[in-house]
A and B are shown apart, each in its own frame.
Chain A
Amino acid sequence: MSKLWFDVAHLLAGGMLVLSFALLYQDRIAAVINVFALQAVALSLSVAWQALVQGAPHLMVTAAIALIVKGFVIPTALHHIIRRMQIHREVEEVIGSGLTMLTGLGLVALSILLVQPVGEVSIYVREDLAFALAVILLGLLMMITRRNAVTQVVGFMSLENGLVLAATGAKGMPLVVEISVAFSILIAFIVFGIFVFRIRERFDTVDVRALDRFRGERRDVS
């Protein structure tokens, strides 16, 4: 197989990583959702490319699921939610965005370091795995640096994007697994959605600090 194929694959995966950083950096909720949709599109392109390269048509289904569910359905729903809650204009306070970006860089370095020994098996798989691991770790980082429930949900789904990338890049994932993962994500999304609405109903805000206050915890805890 020519090297060009892998370069394209790496370009798409790298695009996802860049979008992960963009997610970390955004402080408007609407923009966060848009970037997430973009990342999902990049994911579906990447998966579709893998389907072409590996000659595995079932990966096309995976790509389609990613594009439709994560690229359109979930972002639209999220936009709907934040508009109904009137928080679409809100600027979310991100803790030390510079520090977060630096930590993110560290995590990317860590993932490259981690997949080093995989290179002995196949150098192409190694790069893909490094990208996927970095996307996962950045998703986690996003979940712990955000205070808004909606952006935490987005962080979680971006993490899942990384999982799908890892699975398809390496060897191709059975369709059943992909469908079940997609379903579980959808269910998680519904649960999160209900959760967010409940918080909103109770506390008039989706800032999770309200929950801490409700538990009677120390005020200084962020």
Chain B
Amino acid sequence: MPGIDLPAATGLWCVPGFLCLAGVAAAVGQRKLATPLIYGGSLALALVALGAALTCFLQPGPPWTLALPIGLPGIGARFRVDALSAFFLVVVNLGAAITSLYALGYGRHEEAPARVLPFYAAFLAGMNLVIFADDAFTYLLAWEFMSLASWAIVLARHRDPANSRAAFLYLVMASFGTLCLLLGFGLLAGPAGGYAFETIRRVSHTPFAATLAVVLALLGAGSKAGLVPLHVWLPLAHPAAPSHVSALLSGVMTKVGVYGFTRIVLDLAGPPNPWFGLTVLTLGGITAAIGVLYALMQHDLKRLLAYHTVENIGIIFIGLGLALAFRANGIKVAAALALTAALFHVFNHSVFKSLLFFGAGAVLTAAGERDMERLGGLIHRMPQTTVAFLIGCAAISALPPLNGFVSEWLTFQAILVSPDLPQWGLKLTVPAAGALLALSAALAAACFVKAFGVTFLGRPRSAAAKAAMEVDTFSLTAMFLLAAICFLAGVLPGFVIDALSPLTAMLTGGTMPHQAALPWMSIAPIAESRSSYNGLIILTFLIASGSVTAMAIHRFATRATRRSAIWDCGFPLDAPQTQYGSASFSMPIRRVFGTVVFSVFERVDMPRPGELRAGSFRMRIIDPAWRLAYGPIARGVASISLILNQLQFLTIRRYLTLVVCTLIALLLLVATWR
């Protein structure tokens, strides 16, 4: 076997490539030529990196490592490509390549490209480097670099106060996440300071240190991925960036967070405790349900998509939690199944979430509007975008034969194996998480019926929506490429599952049954006698039944055109605003969950009979994470700073006295400690 030295090194060389591109962008960002140059360069580099990553991923072999004599003394900068990092490199660079292609068209509408271009290339470099890193120092450096580069893009349109607030919140949460990871790596490295991942893997950790490190990884990587209640920055920051970067943030960067968590918990922290699985599973279930419920309440298309990312992260973490629980109990095949489901969903989500954000970006370019209440009827103006967006919606709603169905189905298959688990806590929690998953899958479908229906169907609700035009070829190509990937991965999932098997073998010690051996491209997670799925058959059935129905309609139905008044709910008003809108769609669900999940505040102001003023209806929804988690923290910080404020106005001698007293107190502590 030729090995993976060459492709892995090529992939790593792409990182300085991206950095050079960022430098070029900083130099020529003001020119008109810069946009196609930088995005074209990013596309070429990302394609090279994607090719390299795919080669590494499809060629299972011993990991490739490299140590450069820069960075921490004694450790240097270490890089490594194994099955896990190769998989995530594929995800990152696929997203990067297609986003760059999309941006070739979309980026032309950018008002201040100099604020986006340098950070775009730097962001791609950062994401790649995080996955290459093989020691804690390089990892954290790359992680922080990635955070800062993306923060700068979120801040690109800083004149809008909402955007700068979102960017500030993002910066705070990113710093918190990095701090948690820093402490976690510190615990794993131990007092000896073995920061190389290789050393961390070799050393056996005390149960206390391992547990604490897992919790810190959950906080650190979870804040980047968007786990509830650390998700609050995500629905604000992701939509604030330009749409192609939103796609990268939502589709790809959250996956880098998932990578961080997987790497630390499944690879570095040693043999897991079953309770890790329970915690991750519970958080994943809550995240999935809360994420989709809030997505359903949004009327800003991009914010809806961002909240929906939270739901998908929940699904991925359910899979990871199951994998942890099964691995802790030595049920290797089930662990491999759960991990495959989670990673397959990582891939799928990166594809369809990018597609949907591209669609939202296309709508934004065409109609200049993100608010669904001012869109509508775009199917006539932008037919191709509509088709691509519809495929994305169907995929994210987990409809067969598209890819979203396969990974969610695999997650359910893993949940169905849960009676094999010996712990009662897990036996009881896993079905509950399954119920949450089912709920969120159903609500996701509702959410995207709303997103698609309100945006693309009906009549336009504003003049801008009425005048929308189809977007450029680059954007459409990018969207249709992603739609094709959704389709292929959904119809032929066996290849993806087989390609993931070296990875699951590395992390869980088990593999799923070889899928390519099954007849007719079926997939069977455990055994064919138990359950199996065949995308090809479903596709054939859909095509057959669809064409039969179409033929029957054309053959037997009347062709005569019949004109009649449209149903107007008894209000014969012609205004398009009277259409069923986004808020109307989500009202039943808001009423059902209103008091429990959303802190809904509704006020109806109805004029009395005879009064001539307009009636009004106000509604405010506050994320309970703010009230329950962040409110107390903010109040605590405020009161502490009020107390400490007095310390700001002491005399020099008092400060000196404080220093000396602190020193003496510490010395006393040292003297009395032993």
0/1 string, A96-107, CB within 8 A of B gives 1: 000000000001
0/1 string, A207-222, CB within 8 A of B gives 1: 0110110000100011
User: Can you list 18 A-B contacts with CB-CB less than 8 angstroms, sorted by A residue number?
Assistant: A107-B664, A110-B667, A110-B671, A114-B671, A116-B671, A117-B674, A137-B664, A140-B660, A140-B663, A141-B660, A143-B656, A143-B660, A209-B651, A211-B651, A212-B651, A217-B649, A221-B650, A221-B651
Whether B671 pairs with A144 at a CB distance below 8 angstroms is: no
| A147 contacts across to B, CB distance below 8 A | 653
Q: Once the chains are docked, how many angstroms separate the CA of A222 from the CA of B656?
A: 13
Q: Once the chains are docked, how many angstroms separate the CA of A209 from the CA of B653?
A: 9
Q: Once the chains are docked, how many angstroms separate the CA of A93 from the CA of B562?
A: 107
Whether B651 pairs with A217 at a CB distance below 8 angstroms is: yes
| A107 contacts across to B, CB distance below 8 A | 664
| B651 contacts across to A, CB distance below 8 A | 208-209, 211-212, 217, 221-222
Q: Is B612 an interface residue (CB 8 A)?
A: no
Q: Once the chains are docked, how many angstroms separate the CA of A93 from the CA of B176?
A: 50
| B573 contacts across to A, CB distance below 8 A | none
Give the interface residue-count category, chain A: 10 to 19
Distance in Å: Cβ of A96 to nearest Cβ of chain B: 14
Q: Once the chains are docked, how many angstroms separate the CA of A82 from the CA of B671?
A: 41
Report how many A-B pairs have Cβ atoms within 8 Å: 36
0/1 string, B200-225, CB within 8 A of A gives 1: 00000000000000000000000000
Given contact pairs A110-B671, A137-B664, a sample of 19 additional A-B residue pairs in the complex whose CB atoms are under 8 Å apart: A110-B664, A110-B667, A110-B668, A113-B671, A114-B670, A116-B671, A117-B674, A143-B656, A143-B660, A144-B656, A147-B653, A208-B651, A208-B653, A211-B651, A211-B652, A217-B651, A221-B650, A221-B651, A222-B653
Q: Is the interface of B mostly helix, strand, loop or mixed?
A: helix
Residues facing A in B372-404 (CB within 8 A) are: none
- With A137-B664, A211-B652, A217-B649 as given contacts, are A144 and B670 in contact (CB-CB < 8 Å)? no
| A113 contacts across to B, CB distance below 8 A | 671
Q: Once the chains are docked, how many angstroms separate the CA of A212 from the CA of B657?
A: 15
| A143 contacts across to B, CB distance below 8 A | 656, 660
Give the residue name and chain of the B residue nearest to A140 (CB): B660
Distance in Å: Cβ of B670 to nearest Cβ of chain A: 6
Q: Once the chains are docked, how many angstroms separate the CA of A8 from the CA of B670?
A: 30
Q: Is B591 an interface residue (CB 8 A)?
A: no
Q: Once the chains are docked, how many angstroms separate the CA of A211 from the CA of B654?
A: 13
Whether B649 pairs with A144 at a CB distance below 8 angstroms is: no
Q: Once the chains are docked, how many angstroms separate the CA of A144 from the CA of B653?
A: 6
Q: Once the chains are docked, how many angstroms separate the CA of A117 from the CA of B670?
A: 11
Q: Once the chains are docked, how many angstroms separate the CA of A113 from the CA of B667?
A: 10
| B649 contacts across to A, CB distance below 8 A | 217
Distance in Å: Cβ of A20 to nearest Cβ of chain B: 15
Give the residue name and chain of the A residue nearest to B658 (CB): A144
Q: Once the chains are docked, how many angstroms separate the CA of A45 from the CA of B667?
A: 29
Residues facing A in B527-552 (CB within 8 A) are: none
Whether B654 pairs with A221 at a CB distance below 8 angstroms is: yes
0/1 string, A135-147, CB within 8 A of B gives 1: 0010011011001
In the A-B complex, the 4 residue pairs with the smallest Cβ-Cβ separation, listed nearest first, are A113-B671, A144-B657, A212-B651, A140-B660
Q: Once the chains are docked, how many angstroms separate the CA of A222 from the CA of B653?
A: 8
Q: Once the chains are docked, how many angstroms separate the CA of A19 from the CA of B256?
A: 64
Give the residue name and chain of the A residue nearest to B661 (CB): A144
Give the residue name and chain of the B residue nearest to A117 (CB): B674
Q: Which of B660, B668, B674 contacts A144 (CB 8 A)?
A: B660
Whether A208 pairs with B671 at a CB distance below 8 angstroms is: no
Q: Once the chains are docked, how many angstroms separate the CA of A144 from the CA of B650?
A: 13
Distance in Å: Cβ of B426 to nearest Cβ of chain A: 49
Q: Once the chains are docked, how many angstroms separate the CA of A208 from the CA of B649?
A: 15
| B660 contacts across to A, CB distance below 8 A | 140-141, 143-144
| A141 contacts across to B, CB distance below 8 A | 660
Give the residue name and chain of the B residue nearest to A147 (CB): B653
| A114 contacts across to B, CB distance below 8 A | 667, 670-671
Give the residue name and chain of the A residue nearest to B651 (CB): A212
Give the residue name and chain of the B residue nearest to A107 (CB): B664
| A137 contacts across to B, CB distance below 8 A | 664
| B653 contacts across to A, CB distance below 8 A | 144, 147, 208, 222
Distance in Å: Cβ of A121 to nearest Cβ of chain B: 15
| B668 contacts across to A, CB distance below 8 A | 110
Residues facing B in A121-155 (CB within 8 A) are: 137, 140-141, 143-144, 147
Q: Once the chains are docked, how many angstroms separate the CA of A209 from the CA of B663?
A: 24
Residue from B651, B653, B660, B668 having most chain A Cβ neighbours under 10 A: B653
- With A110-B664, A137-B664, A140-B663 as given contacts, are A208 and B656 in contact (CB-CB < 8 Å)? no
Q: Once the chains are docked, how many angstroms separate the CA of A222 from the CA of B651?
A: 8
| B652 contacts across to A, CB distance below 8 A | 208, 211
Distance in Å: Cβ of A64 to nearest Cβ of chain B: 31
Give the residue name and chain of the A residue nearest to B650 (CB): A221
Q: Once the chains are docked, how many angstroms separate the CA of A144 from the CA of B652?
A: 9
Q: Once the chains are docked, how many angstroms separate the CA of A137 from the CA of B664?
A: 9
Give the residue name and chain of the A residue nearest to B668 (CB): A110
Q: Once the chains are docked, how many angstroms separate the CA of A217 from the CA of B648?
A: 11
0/1 string, B628-667, CB within 8 A of A gives 1: 0000000000000000000001111110110010011001
Residue from B650, B651, B660 having most chain A Cβ neighbours under 10 A: B651
Q: Once the chains are docked, how many angstroms separate the CA of A134 from the CA of B674?
A: 21
| B650 contacts across to A, CB distance below 8 A | 221
Give the residue name and chain of the A residue nearest to B656 (CB): A144
Q: Once the chains are docked, how many angstroms separate the CA of A113 from the CA of B663?
A: 15
Q: Once the chains are docked, how many angstroms separate the CA of A209 from the CA of B654?
A: 11
Q: Once the chains are docked, how many angstroms separate the CA of A116 from the CA of B674?
A: 11
Residues facing A in B334-389 (CB within 8 A) are: none
Q: Once the chains are docked, how many angstroms separate the CA of A221 from the CA of B651?
A: 8
Q: Once the chains are docked, how many angstroms separate the CA of A44 from the CA of B336?
A: 73
Residues facing B in A172-222 (CB within 8 A) are: 208-209, 211-212, 217, 221-222
Q: Once the chains are docked, how many angstroms separate the CA of A28 from the CA of B60?
A: 83
Q: Once the chains are docked, how many angstroms separate the CA of A116 from the CA of B660?
A: 22
| A222 contacts across to B, CB distance below 8 A | 651, 653
| A221 contacts across to B, CB distance below 8 A | 650-651, 654
Q: Once the chains are docked, how many angstroms separate the CA of A141 from the CA of B671?
A: 19
Q: Once the chains are docked, how many angstroms separate the CA of A137 from the CA of B666?
A: 13
| B670 contacts across to A, CB distance below 8 A | 114
Q: Once the chains are docked, how many angstroms separate the CA of A96 from the CA of B657?
A: 15
Q: Once the chains are docked, how many angstroms separate the CA of A113 from the CA of B650?
A: 32
Q: Once the chains are docked, how many angstroms separate the CA of A134 from the CA of B593?
A: 68
Distance in Å: Cβ of A107 to nearest Cβ of chain B: 7
Distance in Å: Cβ of B674 to nearest Cβ of chain A: 7
Distance in Å: Cβ of A86 to nearest Cβ of chain B: 24
